[in-house]
């Protein structure tokens, strides 16, 4: 909505002076978003004033305007409305200014205020805690730009399917809230996509209980897929592991990554493991290892090898898990290696 024709316009001297007086690094703005400096109207002092009113010091104000210079193109009214909106879920202005410092772009997107407000109210009614809603506002702001009816529609589709798959009314609310907390981007999908993906799993002979299990394990990623890619990934895994449909189903339940990673990703990861001397049989035994990138696998194998642990003959479980999980496993193997065979202080018989 702003002009980006830099040749025909000159920088607004008044804007430059006002930013300079706030110790803002103008060269940074010129490099990243020069078009902001070319606009005829800017509200530098007013926006800085509102931020200071909320408790931002001089450094914080300069930092915010350097990272999100388009903030100065909003009217004070727009920013005050946004401030009131975010205060619905923030404990106090101290928390609010901290969030603005970390995520200025999210705060200064004022285009969808009506939708933002309606969605905040809807999430509160749904039972989401304010700290989760603030996390959404900063890390997944686009879900608030949807009309609230669309988000309601997606939630209703999820609730309906949860009950149809045998989930209980009593657990439904907890399930929905957990799913949303893990992956708010499921709201960017359409109800039709959700329906189609669930139907694909049912046609692939997963029982209702297993589909429900997959939904929880996939943390909502299943809704960002489509039946074609899932089918290709499953066929690839079936050929690689030379297994029956029933065995494939068990592998997918064990490692949903076989469902949501595309064939090129699975191929690359498999190749990386085979290069390290790991066999297909080992991978089939512990398919979760395919959830890790090739770089992570190489790094972990290197660390374990340094301790004399041979991954080719051992179990791949030691490679698995999050960074924290691996560090625990590594620590156990290390202490086992360092432990003396006999107790040096025990009397010899």
Cβ atoms of 6 and 37 closer than 8 Å: no
Distance CA 192, CA 315 (A): 42
Measured on CA atoms in the order 76, 77, 82, 85, is the torsion positive or negative?
A: positive
Please list the alpha-helical segments (H only) found in 165-207: 169-182, 191-203
Residue-level pLDDT at 226: 84
Domains of the chain by residue range: 12-110
CB neighbour list of residue 186: distance below 8 Å, 6 or more residues apart: 154, 158, 179, 180, 194, 220, 223, 224
**Token reading at 251:** 């592998």
Distance CA 251, CA 268 (A): 19
H or E stretch at 18: helix 13-21
Residue-level pLDDT at 1: 43
User: Vertex 277, ends 327 and 294: CA angle to 5°?
Assistant: 50
114, with CB counted inside 10 A (0-12, 13-18, 19+), is exposed
* φ, ψ for residue 293, nearest 5 deg: -75, 160
Single pTM value for the model: 0.76
Distance CA 164, CA 154 (A): 15
Q: Give the 3-state secondary structure percentages of the chain, helix then strand then coil, rounded to 5.
A: 70, 0, 30
Measured on CA atoms in the order 326, 220, 105, 3, is the torsion positive or negative?
A: positive
Cβ atoms of 121 and 133 closer than 8 Å: no
Mean per-residue pLDDT pooled into runs of 10, the chain (349 residues): 55 93 93 92 95 94 95 95 94 93 93 94 94 93 94 92 90 90 87 87 90 80 82 93 92 89 93 90 90 90 86 81 86 76 58
Distance CA 18, CA 43 (A): 9
Residue-level pLDDT at 155: 93
Distance CA 138, CA 115 (A): 16
């Amino acid at each position: 909505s702003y002009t980006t024709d830099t040749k025909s316009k000159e920088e607004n001297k008044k804007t430059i002076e006002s930013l300079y007086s706030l110790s803002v690094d103008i060269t940074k703005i010129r490099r990243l978003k020069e078009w902001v400096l070319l606009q005829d109207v800017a509200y530098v002092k007013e926006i800085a004033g509102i931020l200071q009113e909320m408790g931002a010091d001089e450094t914080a104000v300069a930092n915010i305007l350097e990272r999100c210079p388009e903030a100065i193109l909003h009217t004070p009214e727009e920013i005050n409305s946004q401030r009131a909106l975010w205060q619905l879920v923030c404990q106090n202005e101290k928390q609010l200014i901290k969030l603005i410092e970390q995520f200025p772009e999210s705060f200064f997107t004022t285009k969808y205020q009506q939708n933002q407000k309606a969605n905040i109210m809807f999430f509160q009614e749904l039972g989401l805690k304010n700290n989760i809603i603030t996390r959404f506002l900063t890390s997944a702001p686009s879900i608030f730009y949807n009309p609230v009816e669309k988000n309601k529609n997606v939630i209703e589709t999820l609730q309906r399917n949860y009950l149809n798959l045998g989930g209980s009314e009593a657990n439904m609310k907890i399930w929905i809230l957990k799913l949303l907390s893990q992956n708010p981007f499921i709201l960017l999908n359409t109800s039709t996509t959700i329906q189609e993906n669930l139907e694909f799993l049912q046609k692939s002979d997963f029982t209702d209980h297993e589909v429900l299990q997959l939904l929880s394990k996939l943390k909502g990623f299943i809704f960002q897929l489509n039946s074609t890619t899932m089918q290709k990934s499953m066929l690839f895994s079936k050929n690689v592991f030379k297994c029956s449909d029933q065995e494939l189903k068990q592998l997918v339940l064990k490692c949903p990554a076989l469902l949501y990673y595309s064939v090129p990703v699975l191929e690359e990861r498999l190749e990386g493991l085979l290069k390290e001397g790991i066999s297909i049989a080992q991978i089939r035994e512990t398919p979760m290892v395919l959830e890790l990138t090739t770089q992570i696998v190489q790094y972990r194998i290197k660390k374990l090898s340094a301790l004399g642990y041979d991954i080719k003959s051992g179990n791949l479980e030691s490679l698995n898990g999050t960074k924290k999980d691996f560090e625990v496993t590594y620590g156990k193997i290390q202490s086992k290696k360092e432990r003396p065979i006999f107790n040096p202080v025990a009397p010899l018989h």
